[in-house]
């Protein structure tokens, strides 16, 4: 099938080469019959799962060695879009060779990552991320059938969006992996909040323990803390001069926050880093005084000396602070 028969224009480029290949040439599509499994002394599990939100459905076949609980073979049938086929195929491949207990730990994030051509580029456009969620759910269904328990007994994460079955861990990881900044982006990537919308923010038809607005704010804060920690660790290792401009600014801000800013604020002032320019002899840090500091006589003497001395000690002796 030609590319243009599936997706027109540049949208095709949002799908990884692996996804494009598996859409048209899935490796594990098919079925395993009870007779085939029995002839090899194995147990056959057939699990069905359908996503009401998009109409896609998948049937998963597991051929399991009952002596080891290992999935010796697996097949699938998918009733849905090309992305559902690719996700189901990769999910099936990830199951083969694992025990049931190992397979049930496979998440939708694992499926999506395995479909990537490179670790940093999503395999599918955001509106198709939910296809890997469906693959994740059918695994739990199959494991429940094999063990004779409810599929939800395998759920060890908090489900934030019941409609799309998206967990707290998945939402936080997707935010971090794709640097998401809005609730709308979260919905695009995971489908969380795309249906009844009660999980977006308080005030919906159903009260929730976790809301997307709060998860986003908390995760963004964690991301900033992680970046700051990395910057400070780099500074501690003497790498300040080789940091990116953003890293240098964050490292300086962190040092100022810990050692200087509280004293400026107490006197009704503050400061901000405007720019950093690296020369052969100096690393010039341009700052702007704010509030009372902007007209204070010591802003070019004692205060400036304190700021510069602190940054020289903590980050680099080459730093020179210049107020503008």
Please list the active-site residues: 54, 131
Q: How many degrees, rounded to 5, is the angle at CA 25 between CA 20 and CA 26?
A: 100
User: Which tokens in the block code for residue 76?
Assistant: 């699938």
Whether 308 and 244 have beta carbons less than 8 Å apart is answered as no
Coil, helix or strand at residue 29 = strand
C-alpha–C-alpha distance, residues 157 and 170, integer Å: 9
Four-residue CA torsion sign, 5, 7, 9, 14: negative
Q: Based on C-alpha coordinates, what's the Rg of the chain?
A: 27
Residue with the two structure tokens 């990881």: 173
Distance in angstroms (rounded) separating the CA atoms of residues 128 and 103 = 23
Inter-residue contact 102 to 145 (CB < 8 Å): no
CB 274, CB 288: distance < 8 Å: yes
Residue with tokens 């998948």: 58
Distance of CA 250 to the CA centre of its chain: 22
């Amino acid at each position: 099938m030609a590319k243009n028969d599936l997706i027109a224009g540049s949208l095709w480029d949002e799908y990884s080469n692996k996804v494009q290949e598996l859409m048209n040439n899935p490796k594990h599509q098919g079925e395993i019959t009870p007779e085939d499994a029995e002839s090899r002394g194995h147990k056959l599990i057939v699990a069905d799962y359908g996503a009401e939100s998009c109409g896609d459905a998948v049937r998963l076949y597991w051929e399991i060695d009952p002596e080891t609980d290992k999935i010796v073979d697996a097949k699938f049938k998918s009733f849905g879009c090309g992305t559902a086929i690719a996700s189901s195929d990769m999910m099936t491949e990830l199951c083969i060779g694992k025990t049931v207990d190992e397979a049930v730990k496979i998440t939708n994030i694992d499926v999506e990552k395995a479909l990537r051509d490179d670790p940093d580029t999503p395999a599918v456009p955001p509106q198709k991320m939910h296809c890997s969620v469906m693959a994740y759910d059918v695994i739990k269904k199959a494991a429940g059938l094999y063990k004779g328990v409810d599929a939800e007994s395998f759920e060890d994460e908090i489900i934030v969006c019941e409609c799309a079955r998206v967990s707290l861990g998945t939402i936080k990881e997707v935010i971090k992996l794709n640097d998401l900044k809005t609730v709308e982006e979260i919905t695009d990537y995971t489908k969380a909040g795309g249906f009844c919308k009660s999980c977006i923010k308080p005030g919906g038809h159903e009260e929730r323990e976790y809301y997307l607005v709060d998860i986003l704010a908390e995760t963004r804060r964690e991301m900033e803390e992680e970046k700051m920690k990395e910057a400070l660790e780099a500074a501690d290792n003497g790498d300040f001069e080789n940091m990116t401009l953003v890293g240098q600014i964050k490292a300086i801000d962190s040092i100022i926050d810990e050692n200087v800013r509280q004293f400026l604020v107490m006197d009704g002032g503050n400061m901000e880093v405007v720019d950093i320019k690296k020369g052969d002899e100096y690393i010039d840090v341009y700052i702007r005084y704010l509030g009372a500091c902007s007209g204070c006589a010591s802003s070019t003497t004692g205060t400036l000396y304190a700021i510069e001395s602190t940054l020289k000690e903590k980050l680099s002796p080459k730093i020179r602070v210049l107020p503008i």
